[in-house]
Amino acid sequence: MRSARYVAWLRGINVGGRNKISMADLRGIFDDAGFANVSTYIQSGNVAFESAAAPATLESEIEALLTERLESPPVAVVRSHRQLRSVVVDAPAEFVERTADHHRDVVFLKAPLTAERAMGVVQLRDGVDDAWAGPGVVYFSRLIAEKAKSRMSRIVGTPEYRLMTIRNWATTSAMLRVLDGMP
């Protein structure tokens, strides 16, 4: 099987003093497991890598690798290079254009959670929040001036949250550039 490029979004890494792991150690775990061209981006569990493994097994394999190293069981959401390109390129124009006055996040969803189901638990405050369903994601923006009034944080209390991880638009776009630049 041919090697392909992926990004692993690891939820809760180095957040609030929990699940602490250095990026060098994280890269080492991936390297030792046989993944190639491993790199990380910032300190919050964004890992680019190559693998010839079956894509359907990557999330559970990565979670198993990290379970012994972290305080709480990790959630790994994996996207192929092609899938991440689609998330970025096909993002709703209204979402992408909100550069000056909105905070923009991409909520990455782990199967079996669908964007349609996730949209059912997303609560929006009129004039503050907006959300759009995408391919395995929900795009979420909130008005910066009204950020304290946003209902984005309410998603954390839902049962569906265990199948999600959230990245801001800048990190999402940066990880696509990382995958694009891999040898």
Q: What does the pLDDT read at residue 1?
A: 65
Residue 180 included in any domain: no
The pTM of the full predicted model, rounded to 2 decimals, is 0.94
Q: Is residue 10 part of a domain?
A: yes
| Six-digit token string for 95 | 């979402």
Q: Do residues 58 and 101 share a domain?
A: no
Q: What is the dihedral of CA 149, 91, 157, 57, to 10 degrees?
A: -160
Structural domain containing residue 24: 4-83
What's the confidence (pLDDT) of residue 14? 83
> For the chain (length 183 residues), average pLDDT per consecutive 10?
92 83 95 97 94 94 91 91 98 95 97 96 95 97 96 92 95 98 91
Whether 120 maps to a domain, the answer reads yes
Please say which residue of 37, 55, 83 terminates a domain.
Answer: 83
